[in-house]
Structure 1
């Protein structure tokens, strides 16, 4: 397995059998997003705990897949995270987003979006800028999804904000064939 996952981490990564098995699970669930796991495995204890938490959004989340990908892609765009953007363009298309919608996620102009999509994208913007949704935004999320999914939406944006910080800081490389530059709108 190629171990050139992060250009700022210079140590060789020696994976025990259990970590190789966990890496196989990440590959299966995400369809090839292994470099994020390879970066995390430089801290094996943290990686095991994190991967269980991080993968749960994709495997066990209550948000509709399309809405989940809107949140993740908007967060990746805001954080200028090429790794997350490339991974989730693919996942967003599989979840029902169109190429045009994915391009428009990068624009601050929310005109042309369906009302609920615009509200979701604006909520991500507010949350990442202020660490708090407005009363109206929280009420809209709760009304639309229920409290459980509203909590998940906020945690999802926060989770990908945190992950983008790690991936950007370590310069984690995008897997070959998944390059999808972030169009700046």
Structure 2
């Protein structure tokens, strides 16, 4: 979408109510700070800032997914494949940047996530994860064969977190497209050949 349908609220216009709603994001910061924490400038947070009640309900769940029972590597594999399939350019760009910066995934793995479960890059276990994402996003279920492969490598808690991570980021693809969420400055979006209208 060429322009936002809901423009991000500039951080200088955030109220105390907005700051309080985002307090969960500071849960991993030091308890004692000599000055107020800097307000994050991501466009998605600027949109959320227009609805503090939504933030208070949403952010604890979002933070759970970020720090769930899944390893960082598996979480990012799941998010990137989901957002690739759902044309969720904002989250794709954010999580490619994050995965590279933190060393969660290699460039070869990121490229393989745009190819799918049959990419030569994957071990059988990794291929099962990517295949599960494909099945969830296309047929809204997971085959018994794929589920069995997942259950061989993940605990019940991890299987729940994996399933809800896919479902959440699939929802993000729709919501952020509808809202017209724009990429943050410096982020690199999808290649030209991967566009919904291409």
* Structure 2 counterpart SS, 1:145: coil
Partner of 1:72: 79
**CA distance, structure 2, for counterparts of residue 171 and residue 7 of structure 1:** 4
Q: Number of residues paired by the alignment?
A: 177
Q: Tell me which moved more, 175-184 or 119-128.
A: 175-184
Native 8 Å contact 2:93 2:189 kept in 1: yes
In 1, Cα distance between equivalents of 2:192 and 2:125:
23
Q: For residues 60-114 of structure 1, what are the alpha-carbon distances to aligned partners after superposition, in whole Å with 9 as ceiling and x for unaligned?
A: x001110100000001101111100111002222242111211121114623111
Q: Which runs of 5+ in 2 are unaligned?
A: 29-39
Gaps of 5+ in 1: 1-5
The answer to whether the Cα contact below 8 Å between 1:142 and 1:149 also exists between their aligned partners in 2 is: no
Q: CA deviation at 1:180?
A: 3.5
Structural mapping, 1:9-158, within 5 Å: 9=6, 14-23=13-22, 26=25, 34-59=42-67, 61-93=68-100, 94-108=102-116, 110-112=118-120, 113-158=122-167
| Structure ranking higher on relative contact order (CA contacts 8 Å, 6+ apart) | 1
Residue 181 (structure 1) aligned with residue 163 (structure 2):
no
Tell me how far apart the structure 2 counterparts of residues 17 and 33 of structure 1 sit (CA, whole Å): 16
Q: Is the 2:118–2:127 contact (alpha carbons within 8 Å) kept by the matching residues of 1? A: yes
What does residue 4 of structure 2 align with? 7
Give the superposition deviation at 1:43. Answer: 2.7
Instruction: Give the TM-score, by structure 2 length.
Output: 0.78
Range that drifts further, 97-106 or 175-184:
175-184
